[in-house]
Structure 1
Amino acid sequence: MSNGITDRTPPADVTERLGYRLKRAAAALRGAMDKALREHGLTVPQYACLELLDQQPGLSNAELARGTFVTRQSMNVVLRGLQDAGLITRPATTDHGRALPAHLTEEGHHRLAAARSVVYAIDQRMTDAVPPKRLSALLADLDRMAETLGG
């Protein structure tokens, strides 16, 4: 009898498939982040953008889009919202082609610091659900899955 876990026979029940389980976990993470970030006036893509700009100031729209898993068109909207809120600055023009490098403002740093604590707490709750002796293997498995699918 096949259980779909110990052999390679795909489970008939879609809710037992790996992709479904990954999507369920991702949806739960996104929902928790949406709720927590709403209290800080941010969306998940805006928060991700602020995190990237904190680590690598001056990233372009295209670089930020790749790093936050959104389209360049969506990143334009995210950047406009962050700029309108006074959380980032971007020059009106640039000497280096079309890329407009973005930088956090002082308010952007403050908002990120406040939001980061709630996001990291969510990440820690998720991490705590995995037995410590299995965590590094799980992370390696997730990386291999992403690489296998070209991500």
Structure 2
Amino acid sequence: MSRAGGVGDVDRAVGYVLKQAATVLRGAMETALRPMGMTVSQYACLELLDQRPGSSVADLARATFVTRQAMTGVLAGLQERGWVTRPALAPHGRALPATVTGEGRRRLGEASTAVARVQERMLAGLEPARRERLLADLQACVAALDPDAG
């Protein structure tokens, strides 16, 4: 029995099912990345740095849904592995822009392929038009709740 004005049956609540999908997706990505010695946060950081070179720690943290402190740790780990380089001194202000190395790009290529396979499994039951609609609908949900989206 649901309360008046409540979300009703959680199995039919969009927010609950969306969180469930995100959790299952992250687990599948972790499983796919583990043999490569990479975490989802490391993969996301590499992908973003490759697509948006020079991103700040704050930008990377926001885009990967972790704290700045956590992203600093992720970057340090990537730097220790030789997948990312950062200057010792900031060229402007305090930001130390990170760059993906050749080895980091090679690792990213493997990881990106594995993550694409996970995404394809997730979307396998949807025709291309439904995939586009799902993406547009999710983007509309983000825009409705995030004043900074867009």
What is the TM-score with the length of structure 1 in the denominator? 0.88
Q: CA RMSD in A?
A: 1.5
Shift in CA distance, 60/15, structure 1 to aligned 2, threshold 3 Å: same
Q: Write out aligned runs for 1:11-30 (5 A).
A: 12-30=8-26
Alpha-carbon separation, structure 2, partners of 1:126 and 1:38: 19
Asked if residue 135 in structure 1 is aligned to residue 131 in structure 2, the reply is yes
Cα deviation, residue 10, structure 1: 5.7
Alpha-carbon separation, structure 2, partners of 1:32 and 1:62: 26
Alpha-carbon separation, structure 2, partners of 1:89 and 1:104: 6
Cα deviation, residue 108, structure 1: 0.4
Cα deviation, residue 71, structure 1: 1.4
**Is this contact kept in 2: 1:83–1:89, CA < 8 A?**
yes
Q: Which residue pairs with 1:70 in the alignment?
A: 66
User: Once superposed, which parts of structure 1, at least 4 consecutive aligned residues long, lie more than 6 Å away?
Assistant: none
What is the TM-score with the length of structure 2 in the denominator? 0.88
One-letter identity of the residue aligned with 1:19: G
Q: Write out aligned runs for 1:34-113 (5 A).
A: 34-113=30-109
Classify the secondary structure of the residue corresponding to 1:39.
helix
Gaps of 5+ in 2: none
Residue deviations 1:34-77, cap 9 Å, x none? 11111111111110110111112222211211221211111001
Classify the secondary structure of the residue corresponding to 1:86.
coil
Cα deviation, residue 126, structure 1: 1.5
Q: What is the number of equivalent residue pairs in this alignment?
A: 143
Residue deviations 1:18-38, cap 9 Å, x none? 111101110110000011111
Classify the secondary structure of the residue corresponding to 2:36.
coil
